[in-house]
Structure 1
């Protein structure tokens, strides 16, 4: 009997448009001989099933079901394609855990921790994971530009702590530009992380649970046409993404080992994509994404293809792992 799969997409953050693209690719790719996929849009003002005619049917949040033609539909598994809140920060994971519905991403704690860049990096540092020098600010704190520059130097990156797709990120070259960059970041979140600039090769490493084992996918090198890997570079073709990355054997071995260590130390499951920059030959972790882009052009699917894993196999494996 075919299993009912809810593909959740959308979300409450600036990333919702990208999430809708990812979710639709999952919906269109799932093996129809094994699964009945349902497109579920999750927004602040509505949770709805969207049928082939774009008609909407309200989701009952009590048990995450939908009623169609007087028949109640429940789901065997949820495929999580929500980037940002509430799909990547632990809220949906907790909700489905309470309802005892399997879902394809990591668990609530891991999602919440990795979504908070500051907490994630702080958790990993005792394990020897190298990171950039950082300075933290909360909304309402007094801004001491001199102290920031003394700690992290210039240029530096000002980032919204809990946001993705490079929303709320600025590269700052002069102390006088710090305040504006901080204001931009506070539009996305009430916490900010300011990091030293790491001048080196940037790579993205996909790590997944594949057929019961932790698998590090072929590494992607990021070469941005812009000043850094910003929204335009990520989604509007302003970058070259080279898979496999142009790394020495030593660099490849090092970053593969660290990416796998991060995944296993955090007790991750499902998809992950970690970003690193090499400084003095050593990979420094920037962040961990637990619901990475899943369009055909996205980095993780590119890496899976390089490993001989088709999109259909990638998504099928995620569901099978969740159902275990």
Structure 2
């Protein structure tokens, strides 16, 4: 009997638009001869399954089951493709834990932790060969004195960004003090980002993004890195999603030593944060020093055909459908 997979999309934030694209691609690549896949949309207003004819059927949230054609469908696994809230911050994971339904992503604690950039950096602070940009974490209660806190602890230029959230929403590169207040307000006021702001000293270097996952054999597999070159000031929302603003080179032009060092660090990050499934780590190699500077970790990385992970899977010599199958089988095995 085929495993019943709930492929979950949508979400409660502006990142839902990306989630729909990611889930559509995953659905197109999965082996439907092996899995019964049900595309399920979640929003603040409704949770529902959409069939191939566009008809919608509500999900029973108390049990995460689907009444359909006179029967009630229970799912063997949730394939979470919800970027942002509630798919990436631990809420969905906690819900599925309560219902004893396995899922493909990191667990609730890791998901919640890694949505908080400042807390994540604290956990990773003593990993060998890993460097962290000097930073300050600002809470809403400290908003009035934010300017003085930043300027007394950090040197220009700064990166100002919400401490939670994704897709570079609410981020600003600040080159002079006069820009700082506007940047801090923008980050604090970004929707669904937790009313916390992290400000980091800017690191100048080559920017990379690299995936890592645990396969069905339990092995950690590091994918080839992607180098990101953008015509923007930094890799912001527009650079990520507007064609032509960014050049992405996969596999990246890295020396053998750089590749091996990156793999060591990524594996340590994965283990230290107790990750599961696939994650993506963004990092700089600093100009002049070649030091590996951690930027952030993404526990539900984008999965459109052009996204980093599918690019890297192809460069690794693997088909996307086989990759997603590995994630499903690994999650099912770990749940036994």
Q: Distance in 2 between matches of 1:251 and 1:28?
A: 34
**Matching of residues 313-324 of structure 1 within 5 Å:** 313-324=322-333
**Matching of residues 178-217 of structure 1 within 5 Å:** 178-188=180-190, 189=193, 190-211=195-216, 212-217=218-223
Partner of 1:137: 138
1:144 Cα deviation from its structure 2 partner: 4.0
Q: Distance in 1 between matches of 2:273 and 2:138?
A: 25
1:118 Cα deviation from its structure 2 partner: 0.8
TM normalised by structure 2 equals 0.94
Deviation string 1:215-252 (CA, Å, 9 cap, x unpaired) is 11001111111110111111112111111112223222
Q: Secondary structure at the match of 2:59?
A: strand
Q: Is the 8 A contact 2:127 2:265 kept in 1?
A: no
Q: Is the 8 A contact 2:138 2:146 kept in 1?
A: no
Do structure 1's residue 18 and structure 2's residue 27 form an aligned pair?
A: no
Do structure 1's residue 120 and structure 2's residue 124 form an aligned pair?
A: no
Q: 1:227 aligns with which of 233, 249, 266?
A: 233
Q: Gaps (5+ residues) in structure 2?
A: none
Moved more, 244-253 or 276-285: 244-253
Q: Is the 8 A contact 2:156 2:201 kept in 1?
A: yes
Partner of 1:241: 248
Q: Distance in 1 between matches of 2:47 and 2:180?
A: 39
Partner of 1:111: 111
Q: Distance in 1 between matches of 2:154 and 2:277?
A: 34
- CA RMSD in angstroms comes to 1.2
Q: Secondary structure at the match of 1:126?
A: coil
Q: How many equivalent pairs are there?
A: 324
**Residues 263 and 123 (structure 1), Cα distance of their counterparts in 2 relative to 1, 3 Å cut:** same
TM normalised by structure 1 equals 0.97
Q: 2:303 aligns with which of 294, 299, 304?
A: 294
